[in-house]
Chain A
Amino acid sequence: DAGVIQSPRHEVTEMGQEVTLRCKPISGHDYLFWYRQTMMRGLELLIYFNNNVPIDDSGMPEDRFSAKMPNASFSTLKIQPSEPRDSAVYFCASSFVGQRFTDTQYFGPGTRLTVL
């Protein structure tokens, strides 16, 4: 399996622009998580989905952030409009609960976002 795939790996944009980050979870996984990592705040959960349905979005910082999961193999995290303080590494992770409750989260390589 290719693992969790994220694109783009690096994104540089200007303040006010719309940014869309993409994630393809591991096939068969039923949970998908979006995290953000900064030096100041560390690694924090933004939102997670179960079977394409958002379960907890309490970590989404504000209305400028939105996430969707239109199907089991694709999710997006959108920032509109972007601001310099959104600069961070954004990770996507997926997991499968299964009968044995092996809920290990597998992380993607991350997208490094820089907002100028």
Chain B
Amino acid sequence: DAKTTQPPSMDCAEGRAANLPCNHSTISGNEYVYWYRQIHSQGPQYIIHGLKNNETNEMASLIITEDRKSSTLILPHATLRDTAVYYCIVRVKTYFGNEKLTFGTGTRLTIIP
């Protein structure tokens, strides 16, 4: 799986959009970008994933650059409950044999009141 690079920490004001970058310059054509987050003392939680098109769900938006070498997770209106460590993960998505997720160090996002 391709390696990802994320800033170790970020702050964002409550109510503002939080934009979390991820660099994955060695991504292959069949690798997807996944985002999970881990709120203190809890298990990781899935947020969103995508291949090359931008994706949006009820939690966040994922913007992937045209060359797919980087992406940005956007939390449109951050709340204090969004304070967590955010993990960007790149992996192949197939029906068998590549199901595992490799977590890096992530970005510790702190929402400031």
Interface of A toward B, CB cutoff 8 Å? 4, 31, 33, 42-45, 48, 50, 55-56, 91, 93, 95, 97, 101, 103-110
Contact = CB atoms under 8 A, between A and B. Distances in A.
Contacts, number: 49
Interface of B: 36, 38, 41-46, 87, 93, 95-97, 99-105
B100 A33 contact: yes
A110 B95 contact: no
A97 B95 CA distance: 7
Most buried by A among B36, B41, B101: B101
Q: Max chain B CB contacts within 10 Å: which of A43, A44, A91?
A: A43
A51 to B, nearest CB: 11
Contact of A107 (B43, B93, B100): B43
A3 to B, nearest CB: 9
28 contacts: A33-B99, A33-B100, A42-B103, A42-B104, A42-B105, A43-B38, A43-B44, A45-B102, A48-B99, A48-B100, A50-B96, A55-B97, A55-B99, A56-B100, A91-B43, A91-B44, A95-B99, A97-B95, A103-B93, A103-B99, A105-B44, A105-B46, A107-B42, A107-B45, A109-B42, A110-B41, A110-B42, A110-B43
